[in-house]
């Protein structure tokens, strides 16, 4: 299955029949469904919507010589919000001045076969909230499952699934140090064979190895 057609169907949230698996579609033309404008304001501030649909938390302390993640995991795959359909909202507060990058990871069933891996996709959009209360979108991207066969060399690595950005997809959205946004929202979803899956969304931060 081509990633382009998968993203095009995912982005339009066409979870039922009608997506042509081999259609040569451009995902850039159909990503509007990821991170609708209402995702920045849904549930009020702090986020007060249903826990099945989102969560809010304070960013953790900046780690020394490493990186850390503040994130929330969707309790089920039934997440949706009015005006932000079929997406989980993970709000992180206390972010003013902190360099950070959107984080998205798979929290659904383990992808232990090539078939399930290569028909899985995640999407994430990042929003920022100014001290005056306005929300704006930073950016968005998609990740697709790629099957990695077991290694045959001296250092044995078992076969596994990893998520990568296909060619042409933007990097994970981020904010540089020194910005004035006191909260962000990582908003997104996971799909396997067009069926929603649990995801873990938030932000990563820190200086990395010293």
Domain positions in the chain are 3-206
**171 and 109 Cβ atoms separated by less than 8 Å:** no
Q: What is the pLDDT of residues 126-173, one digit of tens each?
A: 999 998 889 999 999 999 999 999 987 767 789 999 999 999 999 999
Q: For the whole model, what pTM was predicted?
A: 0.84
Which residue did the predictor score with more confidence, 34 or 174?
174
Q: Give the whole-number percent of the chain exceeding pLDDT 70.
A: 84
Task: Provide mean pLDDT across the span 171-183.
Answer: 97
Q: What is the pLDDT of residue 10?
A: 42
Q: What is the pLDDT of residues 65-93, one digit of tens each?
A: 999 999 999 999 999 999 999 999 999 99
**144 and 121 Cβ atoms separated by less than 8 Å:** yes
Q: How far does CA 124 lie from the centroid of its chain?
A: 3
Q: What is the pLDDT of residue 7?
A: 52
Q: What is the pLDDT of residue 37?
A: 80
Q: What is the pLDDT of residue 209?
A: 86
11 falls in which pLDDT band (50, 70, 90)?
A: very low
């Amino acid at each position: 299955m081509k990633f382009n057609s998968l993203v095009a169907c995912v982005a339009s949230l066409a979870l039922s029949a009608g997506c042509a698996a081999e259609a040569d579609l451009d995902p850039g033309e159909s990503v509007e469904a990821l991170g609708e404008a209402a995702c920045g304001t849904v549930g009020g501030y702090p986020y007060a919507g249903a826990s099945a649909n989102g969560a809010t938390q304070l960013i953790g302390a900046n780690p020394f010589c490493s990186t850390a993640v503040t994130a929330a995991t969707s309790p089920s795959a039934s997440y949706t919000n009015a005006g932000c359909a079929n997406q989980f909202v993970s709000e992180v507060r206390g972010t003013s001045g902190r360099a950070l990058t959107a984080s998205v990871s798979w929290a659904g069933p383990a992808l232990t076969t090539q078939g399930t891996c290569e028909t899985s996709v995640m999407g994430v959009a990042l929003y920022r909230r100014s001290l005056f209360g306005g929300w704006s979108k930073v950016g968005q991207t998609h990740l697709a499952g790629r099957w990695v066969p077991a290694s045959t060399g001296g250092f044995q690595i078992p076969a596994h699934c990893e998520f990568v950005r296909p060619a042409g997809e933007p990097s994970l959205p981020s904010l540089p140090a020194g910005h004035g946004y006191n909260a962000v929202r990582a908003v997104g979803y996971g799909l396997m064979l067009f069926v929603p899956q649990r995801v873990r969304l938030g932000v990563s931060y820190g200086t990395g190895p010293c």
